[in-house]
A and B are shown apart, each in its own frame.
Chain A
Amino acid sequence: MDNIIEINDVSVTYQKDSSVIHAISHLTLNIKRGSFVAILGRNGSGKSTLAKLLNASLLPDSGEIFVDGINTTNEERAFDIRSKVGMVFQNPDNQMVATIIEDDLAFGPENLGIPREEIRKRVDWALKTVGMYEHRMRATQKLSGGQKQRVAIAAVLAMSPEVLILDEATAMLDPRGRSEVMDTARKLNKEKNITVVLITHYMDEAVDVDEIVVLDSGCIATKGSPLEVFEQIDIIKNTGLEFPTATETSLKLRGLGYDIPVVLTDESLVEALCQLK
């Protein structure tokens, strides 16, 4: 697998009350094409700054970022990058332009000057992919939170992106809405081979991803598979994260001398306990 995103020694700083703050500090990271990556970290750790860097909304003060081989500082290609890297934000209400769902989906492709017949095809395809096709003529306002975010994902899909960034897109949703969004993201990753970058505060959402990147004060505190990351007890605690319940239970049982593996999900914990019995 090649890298869809390459981040080389990137720093972003800003001024606050006469002191210089490093939002991102000498960060180097590659994201493989077609992978599902979760970015975790407390508020202010640089997650959203990183997201903005990936679609050229924000340019690094030093270092370089390549999206599908294009340098994000290349102003002429900024819109190429944005059509390759789609973003879904936290508040579903603040990212829709039109009142009617299909009109909202058309906004991106219209901006790119894509021919009408092609827009029609893309809009219909995107709505079907997220399971909102039968609602296409409804008002965005009447949808549930989960439905709104699925529409926002479809709006990104209509631009046929390579990467989907979910920037705390589940934070304002109820549990049902959250699983709707997560199921959609997983489906796009598996079936359409779209690279997903998931920024979240919910550890449950990160247990089955390909790679977790933990940010702290603009640096990578650790990264690896979910198991590799959640095994590092001190780092998880010091970066303000928490363990999935099953993981914490398995770690504590190991601490008490039980011979069970570190697990990530309720199901695997139950499996491990039954093996032990």
Chain B
Amino acid sequence: MRDIAFGQYYPADSVIHKLDSRIKLILVVVYVVGVFLVNSFISYIPVALFLLSTILLSKVSLIKVMKSIKGILFIIMFTSLLNIFFNKVDNVLWSWGFLVITDGGLKIAAKLALRLLLLVAGTSMLTFTTTPMGITDGLESIMKPLKLIKVPVHDIAITMSITLRFIPILIEEIDKIIMAQKARGASFDTGGLVKRIKAYLPVLIPLFVSAFRRADELALAMDARCYNATQNRTKLKELKCKKRDLIALFITTIYLILVITIPMFFPIILDFFSK
């Protein structure tokens, strides 16, 4: 479990890292909308190009991006298999008993797998290039108008930041507790569902006890560092839109237009070249 790369910051000196985190949040939303608007294979081209250029510009190693996908590979394979067998569209390619594979089913499965891959790889580009503090600062800034209706925007942001920080710590803790209970003869992979859930109690209870203890200590430590001392909290890192942010926004707009229009223009382009 420990080598899940999703959600980790990858320090590098790149244009993408330097973008305003609010802009990056907007870009990710636009990118995700783009991925969901895709309805033909041809429209994946602008999406893939957009993602690839972002990765190259960000100087994040391709291996690291691949690793972020590795975590959800199982989900992708599982949904693909379901889609292959449950979508019976067009020509039957192969059948065995109730299992039928059609070319339409294959297409749907492939599209969905691509969509998931692009989604995860794209969103993890945000976390690779933006520190959790940057993301929460960005969210806080975007949500600022909500302060007017008394939403505790800053508290929400700091809670998110702390959650992100403690995920790897708690994962490591789960590993340790599982080992300790296994050493006391506990087994987690035998018996029916109820038995298995029950088997996890000796892991979950110590985990909760420890999480509460950590929360307690953290609250004390935050108080000791003057949390809530003033309403006029300052920020070390100022969010400022610069020229590069506007350019990024502009490029992303083009990307969205391309994703939408490419299926319409594609026949025309094909036509043009075949002449």
Contact = CB atoms under 8 A, between A and B. Distances in A.
Interface of A: 52, 55, 57, 79, 82-83, 86-87, 89, 91, 93-100, 102-103, 106-116, 119-120, 123, 137-141, 155-156, 159
Contact of A116 (B131, B218, B232, B235): B235
17 contacts: A79-B229, A82-B226, A87-B221, A91-B214, A91-B217, A93-B214, A95-B217, A96-B165, A97-B158, A98-B131, A100-B9, A103-B237, A108-B225, A113-B229, A119-B234, A141-B168, A141-B169
Contacts of A100: 9, 131-133
A113 B231 CA distance: 8
B132 A98 contact: yes
Interface string B150-168: 0000000010011011001
Contacts of A140: 165
B230 interface: yes
Contact of A106 (B168, B226, B236): B236
Given A103-B133, A115-B234, A139-B8, A94 B217 contact: yes
B238 interface: yes
List the 4 shortest-distance A-B pairs measured between CB atoms, nearest first.
A95-B221, A106-B236, A103-B133, A94-B217
Contact of A99 (B164, B229, B237): B164
A82 B232 CA distance: 18
Nearest to A51: B224
Nearest to A106: B236
B240 to A, nearest CB: 11
Nearest to A137: B11
Contacts of A83: 226, 229
Query: How many of chain B's residues touch chain A, expressed as a range?
Result: 35 or more
Nearest to B227: A111
B233 interface: yes
A37 to B, nearest CB: 19
A114 B229 CA distance: 11
Contact of B236 (A82, A93, A123): A123
A141 B232 CA distance: 30
B233 A116 contact: no
B175 interface: no
B220 interface: yes
B161 to A, nearest CB: 6
A93 B230 contact: no
A97 B169 CA distance: 13
Contacts of B238: 116
B42 interface: no
A99 B218 contact: no
Given A97-B158, A119-B234, A139 B9 contact: yes
A197 to B, nearest CB: 13
A110 B133 contact: no
A99 B161 contact: yes
A235 to B, nearest CB: 31
Given A98-B161, A116-B238, A111 B221 contact: no
Of B165, B228, B237, B238, the most chain A CB neighbours within 10 A belong to B165
A106 B133 CA distance: 11
B173 to A, nearest CB: 10
B226 A112 contact: yes
Contacts of B158: 97
Contacts of B162: 97
Given A82-B223, A83-B229, 19 more contacts: A52-B220, A57-B223, A79-B226, A82-B225, A82-B229, A93-B214, A94-B218, A97-B165, A97-B222, A98-B165, A100-B9, A103-B237, A106-B236, A107-B222, A107-B225, A112-B229, A120-B236, A139-B8, A139-B9
